[in-house]
Amino acid sequence: MTEAQGPQGRVLVIAGSDSGGGAGIQADIKTITMLGGYAMTAVTAITVQDTTGVHGVWPVPVEAVTGQMQVTLADIGADAIKTGMLGSAALVESVAECLAANASMIPRVIDPVMIATSGHRLVEAKGVEAIRSELVPGARLVTPNAPEAEVLTGKAVETVDGQRRAAEQLLELGANGALVKGGHIPGSKITDVLQTTTGEWIFESPRIETTSTHGTGCVLASAIAALLAQGESVPEAVEQGRDYLMGAIRAAKGFGKGAGPLHHGWVLDDED
């Protein structure tokens, strides 16, 4: 890509595979495509997963993950990078090194995936510290939910003020932006707090009563990455990404016996 061409919507996703299709790279690919982007992947783990939980995890060798990253970036290039499930400190460190060597100027959206919707832990303790020290600094945006923000910052995140304090701490750790999501905080509405080096934005929406919540974090982070990759500002990407997410939750088809997936293709239904 030359500078004159501008953003072309290419997003490299570095994340795990979800056999149920509700989260992970499957959700990322569908989301990015629905929003007009072009998704590429570096698969970090194969999970045996459905709406009831995670039944097994097989990490992909670190060399295979970084190899996927290197060839994709060298050949196709990227306008944004999104990270998801990175299960170990060794993997986090290798991904960070690969990005520094091959994609230092490409905006990164870091979704610090730690626990699946079902409650299964997806990253080791040392991996969390590596995310904090290796991936948060320099990120265009970090997108933790309330429990993830508490782990990353040590701040209690039970109110909007707590979300603000956590966002401030993430910026102090070196992030250029932090979106601390409020879906895990009880209440009739969901409040997400965005802070960047230039300001603060508060996003509110009514809570949708549903059991179809599998992969919401993956979808929002990928939606934001897809929009950044097409030239949107961070606040605009967050606003549009939230709109896409809410539409996908409302249109969910109720698949599965547990926490069901969203309907990623709802925008196509909306056009009919």
> Starting from the edge strand earliest in sequence, which strands make up the sheet with 38-50, in order?
53-59, 38-50, 10-18, 80-83, 108-110, 141-142, 177-180, 189-196, 199-206
pLDDT over 70 (residue 95): yes
State the average pLDDT for the chain: 94
Could you list the active site residues?
181, 213, 215-218
- The pLDDT-based confidence of 107 (bands split at 50, 70, 90) is very high
Q: Which H or E run contains 128?
A: helix 125-130
- The pLDDT-based confidence of 249 (bands split at 50, 70, 90) is very high
Residues 6+ positions from 65 with CB-CB distance below 8 Å: 14, 42, 43, 44, 91, 94, 95
- The pLDDT-based confidence of 1 (bands split at 50, 70, 90) is very low
Task: Give all domains of the chain, ordered by start, each with its CATH number.
Answer: 8-248 (3.40.1190.20)
pLDDT over 60 (residue 4): no
Instruction: For residue 141, give Cα distances in angstroms to 54, 135, 176, 196.
Output: 27, 10, 6, 8
- The pLDDT-based confidence of 64 (bands split at 50, 70, 90) is very high
Distance CA 29, CA 13 (A): 8
pLDDT of residue 2: 43
- The pLDDT-based confidence of 123 (bands split at 50, 70, 90) is confident
